[in-house]
């Protein structure tokens, strides 16, 4: 089968739930999903949990949540079943025992009774396993069993010749068979190692293409030999390029690091809580090792599905351009319909301010503020700092620096007069709407012969408690006449007290 075949592909994402899903793993799942959708095939989620000592149930929940967040729905998996269930390896141990025993019966694997202490002695000398139990007689095996020594099953790798694996994007990879030191296939507790389980499961689940990180390249020849030992055709291997950290100097770590003075997280969960949009992350990660074309960097899911092919993946390592993710996320935010953006913002604002999410999704204030800040934010978490003032009563708007209520080149007394004059306008103007407010304030500034910027500055601080905020008159409309007047009264009182104390 050619790697670029349009026949329906069956691909699998098979994480080990020992830690939280990172961006590299999510990119692998994304490429799997894209190729399955491109060919009209199936995307399978398989959980490789044979490392029971490191299994973390929180990790399993995290990875499924992360895949769903990105929109990568699987066609078969542990929660929805499928024709090749179960999809959790610890529930398939009888199968692995069956195939491991078959290899032993065929002389392609053997029981090894080497103790952990003996193995540690070899490791201390820098030596690989020496195949010491590969040619045991039946009597020797019986003697070990009578001693009560536990055994593992090891693969009897060829001692001579070479094995060649073809990678769809890297070409042929050839190794000397003698370098494959008879790896363990079945552990003494009856659970398989990765090498046996992945080969058996890929065959039984009819996987056609294996997309995985390039760190698995050293294992590929062993897996090729195992497929040959079972007389099974191997799937097409595609070893994906490594993702480097934003500095481009090293492989992306599985822990948070600081790059150019900014903390960088490799974990998907931190981007979900950090206010990134799944569509932006989808677009961003798709560009990590694959390119839509030389001109187009932004594309829809449908466009990516139509064009994606594994043979177009580059084997070259790619640095993760963190600033580009921010730029791309901001672009997607600006392209959203305000109503949808309000839906996306509500959980973040609610969490920050202790408000009810459902109420915020229909809150008039958030609906009016959303388009006012849409051009100003790159991530959803930036919204609260711009609009939190709108969701607290006037009494909670504080002015720790009263001088901020004084307009440029105005005195405290002049700024007091400005605030009082503006309050009178607000109290009487009809309709109470941004265009009418703006016209009246500009007219008043001209009448008082004060520059518009200096005239408006005290009102911005009085209403929001900040020198920078969304457009002033739209902000007044969001608050409504009564709340706006209440804040102006508080600000006037604060400024008057400051002016009096300063005399």
Distance between CA atoms of residues 388 and 378, nearest Å: 17
In angstroms, what is the C-alpha Rg of the chain?
32
**How many CB atoms sit inside 10 A of residue 147's CB?**
8
Give the active site residue among 251, 254, 324, 409.
254
- Percentage of the chain beyond pLDDT 70 is 98
Contact (CB, 8 A) for 379 and 274? yes
Count of residues in the chain: 503
User: Any idea which of 187-191, 374-378, 448-452 has the lowest mean pLDDT?
Assistant: 187-191
Q: What is the pLDDT of residue 364?
A: 96
Q: For the chain, give every domain's residue range.
A: 337-390, 394-502
Q: Report the alpha-carbon distance of residue 496 to residue 453 in Å, rounded.
A: 21
Cβ–Cβ < 8 Å for 367, 339: yes
Higher-pLDDT residue of 258 and 124 is 124
pLDDT of residue 4: 47
Query: Which residues touch 484 (CB under 8 Å, ≥6 apart)?
Result: 426, 463, 476
- Taking phi first (over 0 means left), then psi (-120 to 50 degrees means alpha), and beta for anything else, what does residue 17 get? beta
With 90 as the cut, is the pLDDT of residue 321 above it?
no
The percent helix, strand, coil of the chain (3-state, each to 5) is: 50, 10, 35
Tell me which residue of 181, 312, 289, 179 sits closest to 240, measured CA to CA.
289
pLDDT on residue 378 = 97
**pLDDT, average across residues 466-482:** 95
Q: Which token pair is 142?
A: 């019986």
Q: What values do phi and psi take at 172, rounded to 5?
A: -80, 140
The pLDDT confidence band at residue 256, using thresholds 50, 70 and 90, is confident
CA dihedral 299, 302, 306, 312 (to 10 degrees): 40
Mean pLDDT calculated for residue range 58-69 = 95
Task: Tell me the CATH architecture of domain 394-502.
Answer: Orthogonal Bundle (1.10)
Q: For residues 369 and 378, what is the distance between their CA atoms, to the nearest angstrom?
A: 16
pLDDT in tens, 122-142: 999 999 899 999 999 999 999
Q: How high does pLDDT run on average in the chain?
A: 94
Active site residue 451: no
Q: Is 256 exposed, middle or buried (0-12, 13-18, 19+ CB in 10 A)?
A: exposed
pLDDT digits (tens, 9 = 90+) for 376-413: 999 999 999 999 999 999 999 999 999 999 999 999 99
Report pLDDT for 3: 44
């Amino acid at each position: 089968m050619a790697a670029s075949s349009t026949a329906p592909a069956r691909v699998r994402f098979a994480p080990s739930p020992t830690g939280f899903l990172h961006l590299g793993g999510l990119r692998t799942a994304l490429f799997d999903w894209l190729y399955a959708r491109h060919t009209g095939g199936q995307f399978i989620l398989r959980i490789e949990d044979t490392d029971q000592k490191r299994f973390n149930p929180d990790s399993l929940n995290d990875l499924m949540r992360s895949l769903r967040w990105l929109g990568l729905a699987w066609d078969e998996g542990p929660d929805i079943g499928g024709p090749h269930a179960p999809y959790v390896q610890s529930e398939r141990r009888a199968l692995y025992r069956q195939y491991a025993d078959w290899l032993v019966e065929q002389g392609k694997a053997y029981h090894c009774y080497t103790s952990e202490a003996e193995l540690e002695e070899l490791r201390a000398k820098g030596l690989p396993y020496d195949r010491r139990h590969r040619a045991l007689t039946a009597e020797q095996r019986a003697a070990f069993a009578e001693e009560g020594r536990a055994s593992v099953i090891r693969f009897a790798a060829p001692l001579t010749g070479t094995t060649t694996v073809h990678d769809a994007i890297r070409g042929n990879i050839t190794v000397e068979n003698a370098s494959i030191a008879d790896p363990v296939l079945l552990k003494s507790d009856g659970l398989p190692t990765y090498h046996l389980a992945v080969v058996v499961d890929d065959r039984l689940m009819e996987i056609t293409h294996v997309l995985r990180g390039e760190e698995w390249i050293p294992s590929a020849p062993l897996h090729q030999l195992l497929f040959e030992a079972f007389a099974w055709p191997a799937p097409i291997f595609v070893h994906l390029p490594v993702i480097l950290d934003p500095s481009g100097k090293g492989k992306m770590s599985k822990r948070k690091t600081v790059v150019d003075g900014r903390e960088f997280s490799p974990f998907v969960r931190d981007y979900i809580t950090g206010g990134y949009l799944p569509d932006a992350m989808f677009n961003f990660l798709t560009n990590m090792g694959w390119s839509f074309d030389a001109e187009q960097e932004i594309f829809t899911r449908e466009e990516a599905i139509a064009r994606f092919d594994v043979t177009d993946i580059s084997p070259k390592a790619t640095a993760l351009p963190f600033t580009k993710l921010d730029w791309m996320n901001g672009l997607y935010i600006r392209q959203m319909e305000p109503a949808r953006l309000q839906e996306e913002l509500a959980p973040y604002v609610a969490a920050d301010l202790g408000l009810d999410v459902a109420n915020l999704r229909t809150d008039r204030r958030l609906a009016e503020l959303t388009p006012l800040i849409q051009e100003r934010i790159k991530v959803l978490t930036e919204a609260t700092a711009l609009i939190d003032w709108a969701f607290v009563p006037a009494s909670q708007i504080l002015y720790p620096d009263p001088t901020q209520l004084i307009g440029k080149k105005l005195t405290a007394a002049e700024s007091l007069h400005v605030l009082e004059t503006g309050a009178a306008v607000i109290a009487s103007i009809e309709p109470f709407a941004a265009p009418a407010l703006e016209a009246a304030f500009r007219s008043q500034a001209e009448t008082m012969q004060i520059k518009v910027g200096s005239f408006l500055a005290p009102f911005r601080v009085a209403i929001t408690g900040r020198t920078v905020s969304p457009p002033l008159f739209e902000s007044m409309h969001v608050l409504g006449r009564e709340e706006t007047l209440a804040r102006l009264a508080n600000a006037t009182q604060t400024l008057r007290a400051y002016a009096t104390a300063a005399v």
